[in-house]
Amino acid sequence: MPEPALKRIVTVANRAGLHARAAVMVVTEARKFNARVVIAKGLHEVEATDILQLMSLGAAQGEQLSLEGSGNEAQVAVDALEQLFLRKFDED
């Protein structure tokens, strides 16, 4: 039986939004874990490990995204990605 997916809602808090450097941080973090994390803005779902897909979300300050993890390390992966958003990608 596959693990149930783990879902978390985050808000893009940094002023610049999910721009190139922030997207690189997400990708770098997501690749550390044995998990698949899907990030969605509304119905637009992308892989957390794909920078082109992430930037194509155009996620701006104040917008909400969902992080949905699956796999062995889903919990830690989603926690780690949530921290990036909470830390505002070390900006502002």
Q: Is 24 in the site for another protein (CB under 8 A)?
A: yes
Q: Is 62 in the site for another protein (CB under 8 A)?
A: no
Q: Which is nearer to another protein, 61 or 75 (CB)?
A: 61
Identity of the amino acid at 44 = H
**Cβ of residue 89: shortest distance to another protein, in angstroms?**
11
Helix 74-86 vs helix 20-30: crossing angle, to nearest 10: 160
> Is 19 noted as a catalytic residue in this protein?
yes
**Which one from 7, 19, 36, 88 is the annotated catalytic residue?**
19
**Cβ of residue 6: shortest distance to another protein, in angstroms?**
26
Contacts of 18 (CB under 8 A, 6+ apart): 12, 26, 54, 55, 57, 58, 59, 60, 65
